[in-house]
Amino acid sequence: MRTPLGGTGMTWRKDRRFYMKKRKEEILELAWMGKEKGSFTREDVEKSADDRISPGLLDELIKEGYLKESGKQMSMTAEGEKEARRLIRAHRLSERLFTDVLDIKPQNMEKYACTFEHFLGDEVVNSICTMLGHPTECPHGHQIPPGECCENKLKEISSIVMPLTELKIGSEARIAYVVTKHHQRLDQLTAFGIVPGGTLHLHQTTPSYVVRVGETDIALDTDIVRAIYVRLKKTP
């Protein structure tokens, strides 16, 4: 029986092309993460990808001009780095969107982000970034590559998530996340009740920031305040 034009045969071929494209994009993301760690090899990529990709895809990416190999070491070409940067940016912003706005559970967030990233164009990614207040790190603490919107600080879309420094006096907000690599500082904020999901009320900004968490007023240095991102709850 002949398969109708546009029927299951065409659908299978289309799905197969998308599947292969997605796998290649995942390899480029692994290459980017390898670069963040300092270096990566063919073995590193194949090991990280488990059984989801075939070794032949690495050779295809080399042939297509996205990757290059010298001895055991692999690296990205300029074109490969550009594409990997776009994918990583989309992935990590998706993680922030699912975590900070949609309240998706951490165990599901990564799975959804891995799917979502492959469908996002630059315009959508920049809109999400602006809406979230141009976050610099994903929920795992990895850097989000900045885009044009970050450099220009676009404000066409009102940010749902913003730095605490942009909150108006008298406003109440929910704490979205804290960007800091200093565990001691994070421990201090946690002790004060300044944790993701908590609520704070901004009392003053000069000469120092004072926020109320529960029944406690807390004075914060400006550098600490810049690390706290919040979601507006209500305007005074």
Determine what percent of the chain is predicted with pLDDT higher than 90. Answer: 25
Whole-number pLDDT of residue 58: 85
Whole-number pLDDT of residue 154: 57
CB 41 within 8 A of CB 35: no
**DSSP labels, 190-229:** HHTT--TT-EEEEEE-SSSEEEEETTEEEEE-HHHHTTEE
Helix (H/G/I), strand (E/B), else coil: 230? strand
Q: Which of 83-87, 128-132, 153-157, 196-200 is predicted with the least confidence, judged by mean pLDDT?
A: 153-157
> Tokens in use for 78?
């300029």
Helices and strands (H, E) in the chain, number of each type: 9, 9
Domains present along the chain, CATH in parentheses = 8-76 (1.10.10), 84-152 (1.10.10.10), 163-234 (2.30.30.90)
Q: Give the Cα separation of 34 and 17 in Å (integer).
A: 26
For the beta sheet containing 73-76, the strands, ordered from the edge strand earlier in sequence to the opposite edge, are: 40-41, 73-76, 67-70
Angle at 95 (CA atoms; ends 179, 172), nearest 5 degrees: 55
Whole-number pLDDT of residue 3: 38
Element (H, E) at 174: strand 172-178
What's the pLDDT tens digit per position in 163-185? 899 899 999 998 888 876 667 77
Q: Give the Cα separation of 46 and 59 in Å (integer).
A: 12
Percent of the chain as helix, strand, coil, to the nearest 5? 50, 20, 30
Place of tokens 């690599």: 181
Task: Determine the average pLDDT of the residues in 111-116.
Answer: 82
**DSSP labels, 42-110:** HHHHHHHTTTSS-HHHHHHHHHTTSEEEETTEEEE-HHHHHHHHHHHHHHHHHHHIIIIIS---HHHHH
Place of tokens 């090991």: 47
> Tokens in use for 131?
């809406």
For the beta sheet containing 228-234, the strands, ordered from the edge strand earlier in sequence to the opposite edge, are: 161-163, 228-234, 172-178, 199-204, 209-213, 216-220
The pTM for the full model equals 0.65
Whole-number pLDDT of residue 235: 47
